[in-house]
Amino acid sequence: MAFRVATFNANSIRARLDQVLGWLARYAPDVLALQETKVQDHEFPAEAFQQAGYYVAFRGQKAHAGVALITREAPEEVSYGLDDGQGEPDEARLIAAKVRGLPIVNTYVPQGREVESPHFAYKLEWLRRLRRYFERHYRPDEPLLWVGDLNVAPLEIDVHDPRGLREHVDFHPLARAALEEVIAWGFVDVFRLHHPDEPGQYTYWDYRVRGAVERNIGWRVDHILATEPLARRSTCAWVDVEARRGERPSDHTFLVAEFALDDL
């Protein structure tokens, strides 16, 4: 049976709880990684997921960020944050666990705000720290899944206007290079593995752009990446655009991939 994994920036889990529960009931993933839950831990609606038959691990903070793993089987070896002691651990931006023995890292990479701001410099350093995190804890020749809202569109076909957006913090050459350095450690972009040349495949459409979904003015900033031993077991990957058209949607939508893990 396929192992189905999805990632979704909820942009407030309390505002999007019904949508997420409905999506879980419809698609029954083995793992759903959430970002931008925007709740402190005591406010996370864990009971609703448990009643739906899922385990949940999460770490949040007030007003922004927040990550969670919703899993069919109990997660093991759950940890939070960058553990290098070189800066803020940012526990509300990284959660790692094993599910059915498969290591999974879910990240919400800082957005960066403006290129000239310290927030953008922090984003670049955060990605450098993430590369070192993978080097310390994992091996590229063993199965590993990295998912989340990475706040970077890697390729020109991943944005609706590559020339006009070149200086944007989510498409800036420095941000793309920083992400590529992490990917070069040993990851495969699972979506692009199955859709190598397809433009217009996005996971985010800005609320502020009138008719963004209908006109497909979007970005691909949410990603599912796997080390090569796991990537070669991937069978498909797709974006659920319809979820973005629903009632009171997030500005992101669900990205899904499936893997054949029987022989893992």
Residue 264's pLDDT band (cuts 50, 70, 90): low
Give the distance from CA 243 to its chain's centroid: 16
Separation CA 152–CA 158 (nearest Å): 9
Give me the pLDDT at residue 262, please. Answer: 79
Residue showing tokens 């793309």: 176
Predicted confidence (pLDDT) at residue 138 exceeds the cutoff of 70? yes
Determine the average pLDDT of the residues in 153-180.
98
Note if 41 is an active site residue: no
Catalytic residue among 149, 158, 189, 251: 149
> How high does pLDDT run on average in the chain?
97
The CATH code that applies to domain 2-260 is: 3.60.10.10
Distance between CA 229 and CA 187 in Å, rounded? Answer: 10
pTM above 0.85, yes or no: yes
Place 263 in a pLDDT band, splitting at 50, 70 and 90. Answer: low
Read off the amino acid at residue 52.
A
Whole-number Å distance between alpha carbons of 124 and 118: 10
Mark whether 83 is an active-site residue.
Answer: no
Question: Which residues fall within 8 angstroms of residue 243, CB to CB, at 6 or more apart?
Answer: 19, 23, 249, 253, 254
Catalytic residue among 54, 108, 202, 204: 108
> Helix 118-137 to helix 173-183 angle, to the nearest 10 degrees?
10
List Cβ neighbours of 218 (8 Å cut-off, separation of 6 or more).
159, 160, 200, 202, 203, 204, 205, 206, 212
Q: Which amino acid is at 4?
A: R
Q: What share of the chain is helix, strand, coil (3-state, %, to 5)?
A: 30, 30, 45
Q: What is the pLDDT of residue 210?
A: 96
DSSP 16-40: HHHHHHHHHHHH--SEEEEE-----
The answer on pLDDT for 57 being more than 90 is: yes
